[in-house]
Amino acid sequence: MRGKGRAWRRMAVALAGLACVLVTACAPPEPPEAEGRLNVVATIGMIRDVAENVGGPYVNVTGLMGPGVDPHLYKASEGDVRRLFRADVIFYGGLHLEARMGEVLHEMGSRTRVAAVSEVIPVDRRLAPPEFQGAYDPHVWFDVRLWAMTVDVIEHTLSQADPAHARDFAANAARYRRQLDELDRYVRAQAARVPPERRVLITAHDAFNYFGRAYGFQVRGLQGISTAAEAGTADVQGLAEFIATRRIPAIFVESSIPRRTIEAVQEAVAARGYEVRIGGSLYSDAMGNPGTPDGTYIGMVRHNIDTIVGALLRQP
Ligand SMILES: [Zn+2]
């Protein structure tokens, strides 16, 4: 939430100014950057958002991956490596989400405070689909209750790095947890509007399994858990057969995956004499544009459930 961060900063500067009026003989307030705010770097936008909400005015958070960026394929640029070297704290998802940044993140762990936020989730609540060959599914943000656990690890890590503001981080974290509770209730209420037999979610890659488990949807993705492996013709035909047989009303594109991936499925369904609509675009591994509602974790989750429910309830 950039806007909120700026508002906090403005308030902090205003309060510092007020203190100067009350205490005479006061040096002019230092610009916020010079006040020793923690320099935090996060990989995906959803983590940056949690860090900004918990850190408030005491952190300066840089996100490496913007809207539409696929974390499975992302490689650190030279600029990213410089930012990582300058960071006081680094947050990333882990569970092999940032597969091509593994080496640099591992190296940073020996010199900086680094936390893989999704790895706080207990093993018995992680999904380990057979197609991912023994590794865990990293897309934990689709289950809002699971994602709320990352607030704990971010609060804890920031408090260790800046103990003077531990109480502020705790208060911010408590407020954000309440917002996530409310969000989880919203998603449940919306999902409940769709009759159980219509709760089938078909997307370009297998990102929504936590969503399916938490909110009662059957989930099928064309590509696997990672986008690194291309979908083959057999995958497209198999999925098209499933959609035509079950007469699924809508399938969905993802903001961080090329649209043609799911359009190939739509065409294969049409070849079987059945029309399936594209129900809209979902945010899977990246959020929307900064400064818009979809550019926050809460906005992204609301967009997704509204899009899914709207498309599945629409009559053919
Ligand atoms: Zn993914």
CA-to-CA distance for 58 and 52, rounded, in angstroms?
Answer: 9
Q: What domains, with CATH codes, occur in the chain?
A: 2-188 (3.40.50.1980), 193-313 (3.40.50.1980)
Q: Which residues contact 43 (CB under 8 A, 6 or more apart)?
A: 63, 64, 65, 71, 74, 91, 92, 93, 97, 98, 101
**pLDDT tens by residue, 2-24:** 444 455 545 444 444 444 333 33
The dihedrals phi and psi of 217, each to the nearest 5 degrees, come to -110, 140
What rounded mean pLDDT belongs to the chain?
88
> What separation in Å is there between the alpha carbon of 139 and the centre of ligand 1?
6
Q: Please tell me the pTM assigned to this model.
A: 0.85
Confidence of residue 286 (pLDDT cuts 50, 70, 90): very high
Mean pLDDT over residues 40-44, rounded?
98
> What separation in Å is there between the alpha carbon of 283 and the centre of ligand 1?
10
> What separation in Å is there between the alpha carbon of 95 and the centre of ligand 1?
11
> What separation in Å is there between the alpha carbon of 18 and the centre of ligand 1?
47
Look up tokens 């799911």; give the residue.
262
